[in-house]
Amino acid sequence: MKSRIVSFSIPLILQELNTHAHILIDDEKFSVAELYYRIATRLRHYLIDEFQDTNGLQWKNIFPMVEEALSSGGSLFYVGDKKQAIYRFRGGDVSLFDSVQDNLQHFSLKHGSLITNYRSQKEIVQFNNEIFSSKLTSCIALAVDK
C-alpha cells in the first residue's frame, strides 16, 4: 500500500470535508460514521501547521482519524507557537498542545522545539522571551483560559 503525505491547514481541510460530507450525506450514500471510517483508512500521515489556531471542536473532529492513523503506523506532525495562541485566532486553544501529548502519549510522541529563529532579529526574540518568561506565562495562561 502506497502512503500519501497529506498537508493541510485545519480550516481548509474542514471546509473541503464539509463540502464533500454534505454531498455524500445529503444523497444518503453514507452515514457520518462511515464517512469518518473511509477518510481515516485512507489518510495515514497528518501535518497540521499553525496548531495554535486549532480550536477544541476542530481537534475533536479530527482526533479519531489521527488516532487511527497512529495505531496503524501513521504519523502526526503538528507545528505551532504557544506564544501566538494568546490571540485566540479562530478560537484557538493553547491547552491543546499539552492535551494532544497527554491523549496520545501511548504512541510515544516526540516533542521538539526550534532553537533558531530565522524570522526575527535578536533583539525582538530577546524581548519576546522576556515577556513570556515563566513568571508571566502563568498570568497569560490564566487570562487566556477565561
Write the pLDDT tens digit of every residue in 37-89. Answer: 777 788 889 998 888 888 888 888 889 889 989 999 999 999 888 877 666 66
Assign residue 46 a region (left: φ > 0; alpha: ψ between -120 and 50; beta: otherwise). Answer: beta
Domain boundaries, the chain: 5-113, 114-146
At residue 146, the pLDDT reads 40
Q: Does the pLDDT at position 30 exceed 80?
A: no
